[in-house]
Amino acid sequence: MSEMPTNRPVSRGILKSPLDFGGGLFLIGLAIVGFGGGFSLPFGQLSGIGSGLMPKTVAVLVAAFGVLLLVQSLFMRGDQLEAWAVRGPIFVLGGVLVFAATIRPWGLVVAGPLAVIVSALADKDSRPAELAIAAVALTLLCGLLFKELLNLPIPFDPAGLIPEPIFRAYVGVKAGIAQAFAALKAGIGR
Amino acid sequence: MTDLVGNLALGLSVALSLKNLALCFLGCLIGTLVGVLPGVGPIATITMLLPITFGIDPIGALIMLAGIYYGAQYGGSTTAILVNIPGEATSVVTTLDGHQMAKQGRAGVALGIAAIGSFIAGCVATVIIAALAVPLTAMALLFGPADYFALMVLGLMFAVVLARGSVAKAIAIILVGILLSTVGTDLESGEERLTFGWNEIADGLDVAVIAMGMFGFAEILRNLETTQTRDVVHAAIGRLLPNGQDMRQSAAPIARGTLLGSLLGLLPGNGAVLGPFASYTLEKKLAKDPSRFGRGAIEGVAGPESANNAGAQTAFIPLLTLGIPPNAVMALMVGAMTIHGIVPGPQIMTKQPQLFWGMIASMWIGNLMLLVINLPLIGLWVRFLKVPYRLMFPSIVLLCCIGIYSINNSPTEVIMTAAFGLFGYALVKFGFEPAPLLLGFVLGRLMEEKLRQALVISRGSFKTFVERPLSAGLLLVALVLIVIAILPSIRQSREQVFKEAD
């Protein structure tokens, strides 16, 4: 599980706990977005509370705790803010976004390797050759597993991009798996 | 008593059908396979594997999901022992002595005793669930909306007390979860709330999207930061079956751990997480030579692992009888059950006894299967864990993407998951714990519904919450809890418990 930031007490400056200060600002920001999104909703009466009561009340409470953290950060010693990594989030989440953008038009054959390769760039020590093999192998494996074996409606190769020989091999494996699975099903009985 | 036997017999007749046995086996196997991945805990595992249960009937799907759940749980312990990376909070304690045992060439025995302890705990917990289900369900029917509301407040307070770090932050993050739960169309008035005119979220946010973002992606981002030297055990795994002396040393800890874990797992608000900590502390206190702990004491694996599994299982009780998830994993189970058209709560047992008892019986069978699958497969898991992280995490990313896409065939949800990944990363950076948010998110909707009902019944009077004895009592306990959590002396000892585990 996530470990909390380690204790590194800060004593200098007005801000005794930058971590709590940041946390407080973060909460207040969330509360403003929440309150803004529910701004026009009616509060209703207590006997028939409206759709706005819950979001607005909760948003105000979130903001209150944000303020509490801000105040606390001035008086109680706490932890330093942790530095944010840039490379990790950009490539890992970038890989996810690329997957989302390509899965519909080109299917898993494009989205799979792209997601693997782009996200792998988050690690500076990624090795191109190893990565290329892993990307192709993982994609084919996931195709067989999710598309063929589990029948999920995920597009695999809607644009017909796979080169002929690989496709033939894939179809062969697919048929084999389908047979084995059918035999297994027949054995178990539905 | 005859009822109990009759009910379990009904359950076994369902769970022992060849198809359900196969699903249970498959669930345990895949659950372990994914759960073994370092940094992938039960929440991410269940979300990732949720789509594979779609084509199955509800009973089979639930049996498989439960299998995935304890498979993932057990996989987490395997990683804790072999790599010293706990898959989730409850296996943190296992790393202490388990990894030391592994370094001393006793990895096999550690894994073996963990499996045996878990199995015994699972058997006992199954019987406890079966025995408590009927009376608790009967009690649940007495609950009015006000009482339900109070019970959920109590559950969230427990979650606050048990969260690590500052009390204010824990409460705040639960509130953020509740705020997120209000996104989407209001069920009563049909008004769109907090959607900012965005159609894609008019149906509300999906619990799977939040869970995958915060526990799948954010966890990867954090793992990439810590350039951890993953020290996969190089020493031989050694024999798997504990010898006579090991068993003698472990018997009492397993019994105590099972009892502690079962009891704590019943608590609303993630009591299960306390089980392993409590068991470890207890064993250390009772030991003749406490200095052995932290250096590969078998009791330090046997007790907590039993407590872990017992708690993981009794945590189903509040979900199945009251319809209230006690922790983040169970909150996700609510989402999974809803997809299959099952509304968790007291009516499951009365209206769908086959489903209810079938699932409970399958828990016992699943535990047996874990024992049978895992001991011979340990060699495979070790090889699996030697795959470097630079290849492992892109694979996890791909599996997560496919899993999320398949839930609704929606690329937009994949994008939203990425956003929640960033959100979860920010939370950790600001020192918030993500798990209570998920609990608040799922309970938020229920709470609003019950609050509305209660106020309609009482014609707008808040007095109903203190006039009904049940709700008054529950709220009082919640109040006492929060006061205790704020008291400085308790706060210190609470921090110490978690420190010791780190």
A155 and B CB contact within 8 Å: no
User: Is the CB of residue B240 less than 8 Å from the CB of residue B378?
Assistant: yes
Sign for the CA dihedral angle at B218, B224, B228, B233 comes to: positive
- Chain A residues whose CB is inside 8 A of the B165 CB are 4
Q: In the prediction, which pLDDT does B394 show?
A: 93
Kindly provide the ipTM of the predicted complex, given to two decimals.
0.87
pLDDT at A7 over 60: no
Residue A102 predicted with pLDDT over 90: yes
Q: Could you give the C-alpha distances from B234 to B81, B110, B238, B300, in angstroms and in order?
A: 12, 15, 11, 22
pLDDT band at A6 (very low <50, low <70, confident <90, very high): very low
Interface test with A, best of B30, B185, B391 (most A CBs within 10 A): B391
Q: Which two tokens stand for residue B18?
A: 């060849």
DSSP assignment of A78-108? -PPPPPPPSHHHHHHHHHHHHHHHHHHHH-H
- At A139, which amino acid appears? T
Residue where the block lists tokens 């959590």: B485
Mutation for B interface: A25, A28, A35, A51, most B CBs within 10 A: A51
Closest to B24 (Cα-Cα) out of B122, B133, B112, B113: B122
What's the confidence (pLDDT) of residue A138?
92
Could you tell me the end-to-end alpha-carbon distance of chain B, in angstroms, rounded to an integer? 44
Quote the CA–CA distance of B134 and B2 in Å, as a whole number.
13
Q: Is A152 on the interface with B (CB under 8 A)?
A: yes
Q: Do the Cβ atoms of B434 and A2 come within 8 Å?
A: yes
User: What is the average per-residue pLDDT within A104-110?
Assistant: 93
By Cβ distance, the residue of B191, B220, B451 closest to A41 is B191
Residue A30, pLDDT > 70, answer yes
Pick from B190, B238, B180, B254: nearest CA to B419? B180
Average pLDDT over residues A118-136: 91
Cα B346-B349-B354 angle, rounded to 5 deg: 155
Q: Does A65 contact B at CB distance below 8 Å?
A: yes
Question: Per-residue pLDDT for chain B (502 aa), expressed as one digit of tens each?
Answer: 567 788 888 888 888 888 999 999 999 998 988 888 877 888 889 988 888 888 888 899 999 998 999 888 888 888 888 887 776 767 778 888 888 888 888 888 898 899 899 999 988 998 888 888 888 888 888 888 999 899 899 988 888 887 777 888 999 999 999 999 999 888 778 888 888 878 888 888 988 899 989 988 998 898 888 765 566 666 667 777 788 888 888 999 999 999 999 988 887 767 677 888 889 888 888 888 888 888 889 999 999 999 988 998 898 888 888 888 888 888 888 888 888 888 888 888 888 888 888 988 888 888 888 888 877 888 888 888 888 888 889 999 999 999 899 888 899 999 999 999 999 999 999 989 888 898 899 889 889 989 989 988 888 888 888 888 989 999 999 999 888 877 765 556 555 555 554 4
Contact B460 A59 (CB under 8 A): no
Question: Tokens in use for B201?
Answer: 């979220």
Q: How confident is the model at residue A189 (pLDDT cuts 50, 70, 90)?
A: low
* Test the B interface: residue of A91, A104, A119, A146 with most B CBs within 10 Å: A119
Retrieve residue A20's tokens. 């709590």
List of chain A residues whose C-beta atoms are within 8 Å of the C-beta of residue B22: 188
Nearest to B468 by CA among B156, B155, B143, B154: B143
pLDDT at residue A2 tops 50: no
Per DSSP bridges, beta strands A44-45 and A48-49 are antiparallel
Instruction: Using CB atoms, pick whichever of A92, A104, A116 lies closest to residue B217.
Output: A92
Residue B35 Cα distances to B27, B211, B396, B406, angstroms: 11, 15, 11, 20
Q: How many CA atoms lie within 13 A of B348 on its CB side?
A: 28
Closest-CA residue to B85 (of B37, B131, B117, B154): B37
Asked whether the predicted pLDDT for residue A186 surpasses 80, the reply is no
Cβ atoms of residues A131 and A117 within 8 Å:
yes
Q: How confident is the model at residue A4 (pLDDT cuts 50, 70, 90)?
A: very low
A3 pLDDT exceeds 50? no
Please, which pLDDT band fits residue A190 given cuts at 50, 70 and 90?
Answer: very low
- Residue B102: CB partners within 8 Å, gap ≥ 6? B81, B82, B110, B233, B235
pLDDT for residue A112: 94
- Please give the Cα distance from A136 to A129 (Å, whole number): 11
Identify the pLDDT of residue A109: 92
Q: Is the pLDDT of residue A41 over 90?
A: no
pTM: 0.86
Looking at residue A1, what is its pLDDT? Answer: 38
Distance from CA of B82 to the nearest CA of A (A): 16
Partner B contacted by A74 (CB < 8 A): no
DSSP for B295-362, please give it: S--THHHHHHHHHHHHHHHHTHHIIIIIS---SHHHHHHHHHHHHTT---SHHHHHH-HHHHHHHHHH
Neighbours of B344 (CB within 10 A): 21
